[in-house]
Structure 1
Amino acid sequence: MVQGTGSNVGKSLIVAGLCRLFANRGLKVRPFKPQNMSNNAAVTADGGEIGRAQALQAMGCRERLSVHMNPVLLKPETDTGAQVIVQGKRFGTMRAREYGTQKATLLPKVLESFSEIESGANLVLVEGAGSPAEINLRAGDIANMGFAEAADLPVVLCGDIDRGGVIASLVGTHSVLENDERERIRAFFVNRFRGDTGLFTEGMRQIEARTGWSSLGVVPWFSDASKLPAEDALGLENGAGRGPVKIVVPVISRIANFDDLDPLRMEEGVTLELIQPGTPLPGDATLVLLPGSKSTVGDLAFFRSQGWDVDLKAHHRRGGHILGICGGYQMLGRTIADPEGIEGAPGTVEGLGYLDVETILTPEKSLVEAAGKHLLTGAEVSGYEIHIGRTSGPDCGRPMLHIREASGAPKLDGAVSGDGRVCGTYLHGLFTADSFRQAYLQGFGATSDLAYDVSIDAVLDDLASHLETSMDIARMLEIARAR
């Protein structure tokens, strides 16, 4: 199990790289994370949802996604509450305090899923959440030491030198743990070192001397990490391209499934600009993309509070194009009705009005993989749906996509305005399909030769090589075999 001295120290990326490293050695390796918190989810082949990081790790392993790879997923809906997903399905919505008292009851399900993942595997790489040093959360813990103890797992600890204070964070973690937890940690490593790693030799010696843990090495900064899908919205970055097609994305407060943006970020012909709260939408945008949301009604109010509704009206008046995906699609309609109070008080709110459609939020969640074609260009698309609500209306008579779900059922998806400049769809991941992305961007005058999936696969191989040369992999396998 890979635990960290804190959140965002690079655990997810390290595990993804190790997954590919061991898979390349011919091992049947699988990822596992007992509890995750993210609004960036992936739909699994067995009809559930897991955190995006475990989806990337599964790709590293060359394994199909399973709900058992991440049995508990928390999807924040407010600052104090989250939707709780257990083994891929909605379990309920809880406030943080309520979940704190209930999480221990989920341990049997977590161990059941771990048994499923472990069965038939040569190696399971488990990722912790946050830090075991958060001893105020230790009671009933299923994310770090509580799970490691229940499953009897050896632990290696990751520290992040890029944020500073890595010696204090590693030694401090040692100091606050109980004796049996310290003993469970067999080794540590330091991540994200910029420059000559030899300059930190004395630092590593000091950590070893003060903790008694052995060193697995210093991992240098991996610059291509930004090309891999991010799970946390805090990791969202503008694209590297500076092309003539300018796509702007307002970063709403509960942005979800923002991996939709990753292929666009890598396009040389595209300038992808993420607009942070407090900043107006630029007047020179080619396309405004409204992303998915975990709380559509709340994020629609947030969108208006930023004045972005006024900016969007000006953009449309200038002849600009608009695309809404999932929650963004719902916002573009005339109304959003929430009769059962799923997202707050029951009622109906006025949408942005760019599509002649209406949405009714319903408790049932659509969780399906799908593939099909873009009706305007005939280009192939593939992706997944993960949403609540049904959308209907006159503009649905001009659908954006014709898709076929994994069950084989065909259907029309989305809506297009009469002038063709405003489109909406429920299909996430459509930009990962090279043929669709190329055809779509060509409509704005940009050319593309990016093979997205191939490029991600190559980055995973490079990451595996990066870890092979910087970490004591033999020692890590020795630790795993000692279980």
Structure 2
Amino acid sequence: MSARVLMVQGCTSDAGKSTVVAALCRWLYRRGAAVAPFKPQNMALNSAVTVDGGEIGRAQAVQAQAAGVPPHTDFNPVLLKPNSDTGAQVIVHGHAIGNMDAVGYHAYKRVAMEAVLASHARLVDRYDALVVEGAGSPAEINLRDRDIANMGYAEAVDCPVVLVADIDRGGVFAHLVGTLALLSESERARIVGFVINRFRGDIALLQPGLDWLERETGKPVLGVLPYLSGLVLEAEDALPRDRSERPRSALRVAVPALPRISNHTDLDALRWHPEVDCVFVGPGDAFPACDLIVLPGSKSTRADLAWLRAQGWDEAILRHVRYGGRVIGICGGMQMLGRAVHDPGGIEGQEGSSEGLGLLDLETTLAPTKQLRNVRGRLADSQAAVSGYEIHCGVSEGPAMAMPAVWLEDGRGDGARSDDGRVIGTYLHGIFDHPDALAGWLRDAGLHAAERFDIQVQREAALERLADAVDAHMDAATLERIFGLRRC
């Protein structure tokens, strides 16, 4: 078996590369192809645990779901998790190798490329089709040297490239023509066509521009994908730009938008639940009155805790609890709820300790070894089924751990609860994804007759909508030729 490879690159970040790759993976899966996603290098704080016990970007886990295969570390061989404005934790083949600043990582790219090509070779041998996602833009002149994320990879493996632009942002023709102009001759030659994403309106009004674009560049427009509102699909990294429309909700959830927030996809089930108003509270905002506060994960727990205090939100959270409100802390959020967070080895930044919010009687010490597990269990109070995954380097200890939030199938207790049950901490990401667990959390927060909501069903429906859009709005004949498919 030798996979046909197509790379999807974008004119900008958030042009829709992740979505187009997911769409093509589901389209190929529906056609009976053995397909896998691939992203050589990803920079994201949303990650997932793989079937082989490693860690990859969450977008590649979603794309794997679209392809009907379990997530594997080969799908994203290099993952960068920023822990400051100039540095990141570097994860290769699913496991952290250390922290590097931008200059250090640039020197390391030759080694990183070896990991990328090794994963590529294994996937090409295993699948019929490989749909590859680029990172950012291929026209970033300052990043061309030793590039492993865009054209550097495409040139190394000699694969065709589709270029995606977001028309909803405006300037779509300038984005496409300008990006093309900044590529080398060999790079331009491997562009097999354009995809225009998030189009609203009458395609007839766009047609003159499409005709001009094809004449000017000599490249075909392979599709104009419509703006799909209400698409329940996990964001790669940036906080979501929109959410579903709904009437005034019965329950309000507030989430601090921490500077290094990680796995904010944990909140998707709350964001999309028709009876929940889930809001991210940004810097400078007054903390709103709410029924439930969720402290999310963080890649830099101590730094984000200091930032939260600088906003005055520590007092808002403590006041919320005094007045009978509930708080759930996930991973780094749970660590913040304890008495202290210690980082003696400088795992996430400067060595030292920080005082926590003191709402749970526990302390956390950051350790070099990261815990990576997919788990199942039951909520300790309601016995509702729960599933999720652990990605953390913290070890939490203290009296509060004697009353865990979750009992796992392997007999371990996870997290902690306060004596009155109003403050809960857990290391489990995806804690709201199981519909039974979600109903239990919402019932505790005051929504006693919540509508049953299954985020996984919604995600599957979103992937099917994406594949339908490929069928309806892309050049199927060209895609079939690229992937070596027979006509249906």
Q: Report the TM-score, using the length of structure 2 for normalisation.
A: 0.95
Matched, 1:440 2:441: yes
CA separation in 1, counterparts of 2:215 and 2:103?
39
CA separation in 2, counterparts of 1:178 and 1:240?
44
CA separation in 1, counterparts of 2:293 and 2:8?
39
Cα deviation for residue 240 of structure 1 reads 4.3
Per the alignment, residue 402 of structure 1 pairs with 407
Structure 1 contact 399–414 (Cα < 8 Å) conserved: yes
Which residue among 3, 9, 13 is the counterpart of 1:3? 9
Per the alignment, residue 473 of structure 2 pairs with 470
1:50-100 C-alpha deviation (Å, 9 max, x unpaired): 111111110101110000000001100001111111110002211112212
Structure 1 contact 334–356 (Cα < 8 Å) conserved: yes
One-letter code aligned to 2:108:
Q
Range with greater deviation from structure 2 (117-126 or 419-428): 117-126
Cα deviation for residue 236 of structure 1 reads 5.3
Matched, 1:149 2:166: no
CA separation in 2, counterparts of 1:143 and 1:205?
31
Cα deviation for residue 346 of structure 1 reads 2.0
Structure 1 contact 154–480 (Cα < 8 Å) conserved: no
CA separation in 1, counterparts of 2:193 and 2:183?
15
CA separation in 1, counterparts of 2:321 and 2:239?
29
Consecutive unaligned residues in structure 2, runs of 5 or more: 1-6
1:158-190 C-alpha deviation (Å, 9 max, x unpaired): 111111111111111121111111101111121
One-letter code aligned to 1:122:
D
CA separation in 1, counterparts of 2:383 and 2:158?
53
Per the alignment, residue 92 of structure 2 pairs with 86
Consecutive unaligned residues in structure 1, runs of 5 or more: none
Cα deviation for residue 445 of structure 1 reads 2.5
SS at 1:344 equivalent: coil
Structure 2 contact 243–272 (Cα < 8 Å) conserved: no
Cα deviation for residue 290 of structure 1 reads 0.2
SS at 1:235 equivalent: coil
One-letter code aligned to 1:199:
L
Structure 1 contact 357–396 (Cα < 8 Å) conserved: yes
Cα deviation for residue 17 of structure 1 reads 1.1
CA separation in 2, counterparts of 1:255 and 1:374?
24
Matched, 1:342 2:367: no
Per the alignment, residue 129 of structure 1 pairs with 135
One-letter code aligned to 1:467:
V
Per the alignment, residue 417 of structure 1 pairs with 418
CA separation in 2, counterparts of 1:127 and 1:100?
20
Per the alignment, residue 383 of structure 1 pairs with 388
Structure 2 contact 198–225 (Cα < 8 Å) conserved: yes
Runs (4+) of structure 1 moved beyond 6 Å?
Answer: none
CA separation in 1, counterparts of 2:71 and 2:483?
23
Which residue among 393, 402, 406 is the counterpart of 2:398? 393
Matched, 1:217 2:219: no
Structure 1 contact 186–479 (Cα < 8 Å) conserved: no
Cα deviation for residue 451 of structure 1 reads 2.2
Cα deviation for residue 101 of structure 1 reads 2.4
CA separation in 2, counterparts of 1:109 and 1:344?
26
Counterparts of 1:87-102 in structure 2, within 5 Å, are: 87-102=93-108
Range with greater deviation from structure 2 (88-97 or 248-257): 88-97
Structure 2 contact 360–423 (Cα < 8 Å) conserved: yes
SS at 1:354 equivalent: coil
Assess, with a 3 A threshold, how the Cα gap between structure 1 residues 323 and 236 changes in structure 2: closer, same or farther.
farther
CA separation in 1, counterparts of 2:260 and 2:447?
32
Structure 1 contact 339–347 (Cα < 8 Å) conserved: yes
Cα deviation for residue 233 of structure 1 reads 2.3
Which residue among 305, 316, 320 is the counterpart of 1:315? 320
Which residue among 57, 74, 77 is the counterpart of 1:71? 77
Q: Report the TM-score, using the length of structure 1 for normalisation.
A: 0.96
Per the alignment, residue 291 of structure 1 pairs with 296
Per the alignment, residue 266 of structure 2 pairs with 260
Per the alignment, residue 4 of structure 2 pairs with none
CA separation in 2, counterparts of 1:236 and 1:358?
35
Q: What is the root-mean-square deviation in Å for CA atoms of aligned residues?
A: 1.4
Assess, with a 3 A threshold, how the Cα gap between structure 1 residues 223 and 239 changes in structure 2: closer, same or farther.
closer
Counterparts of 1:18-29 in structure 2, within 5 Å, are: 18-29=24-35
CA separation in 2, counterparts of 1:395 and 1:186?
58
1:13-33 C-alpha deviation (Å, 9 max, x unpaired): 111111111111111111000
Per the alignment, residue 279 of structure 1 pairs with 285
Cα deviation for residue 243 of structure 1 reads 2.1
CA separation in 2, counterparts of 1:429 and 1:234?
16
Per the alignment, residue 301 of structure 1 pairs with 306
One-letter code aligned to 1:429:
G
CA separation in 1, counterparts of 2:140 and 2:23?
26
Per the alignment, residue 432 of structure 2 pairs with 431
Structure 2 contact 330–427 (Cα < 8 Å) conserved: yes
Structure 2 contact 330–426 (Cα < 8 Å) conserved: yes
Count of residues in Structure 1 that have an aligned counterpart in Structure 2: 476
Cα deviation for residue 380 of structure 1 reads 0.7
SS at 1:402 equivalent: strand
SS at 1:431 equivalent: coil
Per the alignment, residue 14 of structure 1 pairs with 20
